[in-house]
Copies of this chain bind each other. A is one copy, B any other.
Amino acid sequence: MDLDHVYRGKRVLVIGGLGFIGSNLAQHLVRLGAQVLIIDSLVPDHGGNMYNIANIRDKLAVNITDVRDQHAINFLVRGQHYIFNLAGQVSHIGSMEDPLADNDINARSQVYLLEACRQHNSQARVVYTSTRQFYGVPKYVPVDEAHPIEPTDVNGITKWAGEQYHLVYHRAHGIPTTALRLTNVYGPRQVLKDAEGRMGVIYHFVRKVLASERLRVFGSGEQLRDYVYVDDVVEALLLAGAHDEAIGEVFNVGGLRPVSHLQLVQLLLEAAGLPTDQYELVPFPPERKAIDIGSVYLDSTRIREAIGWAPTTDLAEGLAQTFAYYYEHKAAYWDAEMVATLQEGSLQAGNA
């Protein structure tokens, strides 16, 4: 499908568009000639970063607001042809520390958005980023969409609720929605602030490498995961928005192939230009072992058959691009205070 033809000149709302995936999507949409409006709350620790769009700041519009602001959402959805709904509280630990905020952002606010669509713009194509996380401890791998839903934390509950709201609003009200359950996503533009245990393993390792710290792998490092490069996710989002076959559907978006933690570390060191033996195996700390879910990776057959998407970026290649980006732009992703300072005054600068 010619995505250029689909999105050129169209009004596209990217909710969470200053974040990791959202900003990569916005970069791509601008290249396709879309009229992009980004909504982001810049909630600290949620990943929003004005630097992510600094290079295209004069080619799109930015509106700072929170998805919990119902009036703002009611206004901002109007007139949009496409709505990519990527905002969310994604930290599992954060969800246990503040379960109400987790409900408000991931579940309650999704009702705001869907009601706003129903009342003010029921034709806009809505694509929601869901997660593999609520499959819980896998009963089998690869995990397909029919796998039981058994969330292990509050975040899994609220993300599933947010996803299901999208599907119910399609069935009951005809809102053309699609939900994508993403596996671990990696690539440029992810904030690299130190947040032990709050982000995925690949994020953790990338930060360690950039900090010149030694990598530690728990246990035997044999657990398998899949990783999908952010450009592949952007393509999945764009295809989902473009294909009528995706309406009312939920699709897994997985990686090319499962990779062990050990393989990941070696690929990562290689991509970073470091000796591939600069890691150590350490025994599983009991508190980590207790929450380890073993091997988990997704079956992406349904989305391939429905709309022709499959991941194409090899992990070695994706990691090389990731390090290339961070070697050049590390300062803008490293330190929370510095990131905030870089963003001061950037709204007016962009609009000038």
Contact = CB atoms under 8 A, between A and B. Distances in A.
A111 B115 contact: no
A152 interface: yes
A112 B104 CA distance: 13
Interface string A94-120: 001001100110011001101100000
A188 B115 CA distance: 37
Contacts of A154: 111, 165, 168
Interface stretch (A73-81, A143-151, A309-317): A143-151
A171 interface: yes
A106 to B, nearest CB: 10
A172 interface: yes
A209 interface: no
B157 A168 contact: yes
A108 B100 contact: yes
A122 interface: no
Contacts of A112: 100
Tally of this chain's copies:
2
Do most interface residues of chain A lie in helix, strand or loop, or is the interface mixed? helix
Interface string A41-83: 0000000000000000000000000000000000000000000
Contacts of A156: 164, 168
Interface residues of A, number: 28
Contact of A104 (B108, B157, B164, B172): B108
A178 to B, nearest CB: 17
A153 interface: yes
A151 B172 contact: no
Q: Which of A108, A146, A171 has the most CB of B within 10 A?
A: A108
A108 B115 contact: no
A183 B210 CA distance: 56
Given A108-B100, A111-B99, A164 B151 contact: yes
Interface string A220-253: 0000000000000000000000000000000000
A91 to B, nearest CB: 14
A197 to B, nearest CB: 14
B161 A158 contact: yes
Interface in A179-225: none
A96 B151 CA distance: 25
A96 B149 contact: no
Interface in A129-153: 146, 148-149, 151-153
8 contacts: A96-B172, A99-B115, A103-B107, A148-B148, A153-B168, A156-B168, A157-B161, A158-B161
Given A103-B107, A103-B111, A154-B168, 17 more contacts: A99-B111, A99-B114, A99-B165, A100-B112, A103-B103, A107-B107, A107-B108, A107-B161, A111-B154, A152-B171, A153-B172, A156-B164, A157-B161, A157-B165, A157-B168, A158-B161, A160-B161
